Amino acid sequence: MKKTVFLGALTVAGLAAGVAAAGTLDDVKARGKLNCGVTTGLVGFAAPDANGEWNGFDVAVCRAVAAAVLGDPTAVEFVPTTGKTRFTALASGEIDMLARNTTWTFSRDVDLKFTFTGVNYYDGQGFLAPKALGVSSAKELDGATVCIQTGTTTELNLADFFRANNISYQPVPIETNAEAIQQYTAGACDVYTTDASGLAASRATFEAPGDHVLLPEIVSKEPLGPLVRHGDDEWADTVRWTLNALITAEELGVTSANIGEMSAAAGNNPEINRLLGTEGNLGEMLGLPADWAAKAIMASGNYGEIFEKNIGESTPIGLARGLNAQWTNGGLLYSPPFR
């Protein structure tokens, strides 16, 4: 029977053993496909449409990286991961990068040995409650039953918030967003808590979204961003600067409409020229073709376009730019310069 323990350990070890020491970029190029970890389905961020094609805000990041590295935004294998499986999937090498509204925290970065390559959405944990409940603040939730996605930072934030306010609650840990929504709509829990963006996205799928309110409290900082394995800086740079390229493109006014023209020949703005590869050799430094950033932007537009198309105010999810506006517009998005 002791063998069982060992064999089990070996299974885990087998997972760990798959990790290549370095060279994810080369692996992806050789494979001709990017394995990108996404959610199991959160409308607006990552969800397959009626044709089985993945769409969304996080999906766009995957596609941009695939376009930058492989020149083809469709060369992506989307791997749905839950809050519990995502880190194992990344650490084991099953996926090359994780773009799954994952919060950048100290322990994940340092202790779990991952590298966060930036922030693509500044979020915070909120509460969704039925209007009929008559609750106007999360501090009135004493004794409430709270649905929560297990394996996420929200679990700890929730415990901290209720402890700090000296009120009690009953947690109902749920594995996926879909199950949590089902429990919430059946009334098995009074409120549902997760990142405010996720709540807005889920509310958009309700029959009567107007019957539910987001409580005003945002109880945590949740900078969400793509991450890769620690120790492969070349690959981390690739993902980081692809994301920066999307953000810079919006700042510099490069859109999917004008990029064809702009990337054809060098213009007057040297930073745009460097970004799009018509001047300098930034692509070569990354080990990518000169037009890598142009390809990434062509995949689904610049950051602003991706935001508006997937989760912006014109979509059912209806999120305002808020903190996620460019720094020039009072937001937090601030890409280091392309130089």
Partner 1 sequence: MTTLTDPPKGAFRLSMLLNDTRYRSFTFQGIALVLLIVAVAYLANNLMTNLRELGLNISYEFLGSPAGYDINQTLIDYDSQSSNLRAAFVGILNTLLVAFLACITATFFGVIAGVLRLSNNWLVRKLMAVYVEIFRNIPVLIWIIIIFTVLTAVLPGARSYLGEDPEKDLLFGYFALTNRGIYAPAPIWNAGSGVVVAVFIASIIGVFGYRRYATNLLYSTGKLLPMGWPTLALLIVPTVLAFFIMGQPIGLDAPDPLANRFNLRGGIQIGAPLIALWFALSIYTGAFIAENVRAGIQAVSKGQTEAAAALGLRPRRIMNLVVLPQALRVIIPPLISNYLNITKNTSLAIAVGYADITATLGGITLNQTGRAIECVLLLMLFYLVISLGISALMNVYNNAMKMKER
Question: Which residues of the chain form contacts with partner 1 (CB under 8 A)?
Answer: 1, 3-6, 8-10, 12-13, 16-17, 19, 21, 83-84, 87-88, 91, 107-108, 111-113, 133, 141-145, 150-152, 155-156, 158-160, 162-163, 169-175, 182-183, 186-190, 230-231
Nearer to partner 1, 1 or 265 (CB): 1
Least distance from C-beta 334 to partner 1, angstroms?
30
Closest contact distance (angstroms) between CB of 254 and partner 1 is 39
Using N-to-C axis directions, what is the helix angle for 303-310 and 292-300, rounded to 10°?
Answer: 20
**Residue 25 Cβ vs partner 1, minimum distance, rounded to whole Å:** 19
Nearer to partner 1, 74 or 137 (CB): 137
Query: What are 46's two structure tokens?
Result: 């990552």
Nearer to partner 1 (CB atom), residue 170 or residue 281? 170
Contact 237/292 with Cβ under 8 angstroms? no
Please report where in the chains the tokens 């070890």 appear, as a residue. 13
| Residue that the structure tokens 């064809």 belong to | 260
- CB 92 to partner 1: min, Å: 10
Q: Please name which of 92, 97, 84 lies closest in space to residue 40, comparing C-alpha atoms.
A: 84
**Between 21 and 265, CB nearer to partner 1:** 21
Listed in sequence order, the residues at least 6 apart from 338 whose beta carbon sits closer than 8 Å to its beta carbon are 244, 245, 248, 271, 274, 275, 282, 293
What are the structure tokens assigned to 136, written together? 């106007």
Residue 312 Cβ vs partner 1, minimum distance, rounded to whole Å? 31
Least distance (Å) from partner 1 to the CB of residue 163?
6
Is the CB of 99 or the CB of 144 nearer to partner 1? 144
Q: Which is nearer to partner 1, 55 or 193 (CB)?
A: 193
Q: What is the CA radius of gyration of the chain?
A: 21
In whole angstroms, give the CA distance from residue 35 to residue 322: 31
Q: For residues 272 and 198, what is the distance between their CA atoms, to the nearest angstrom?
A: 34
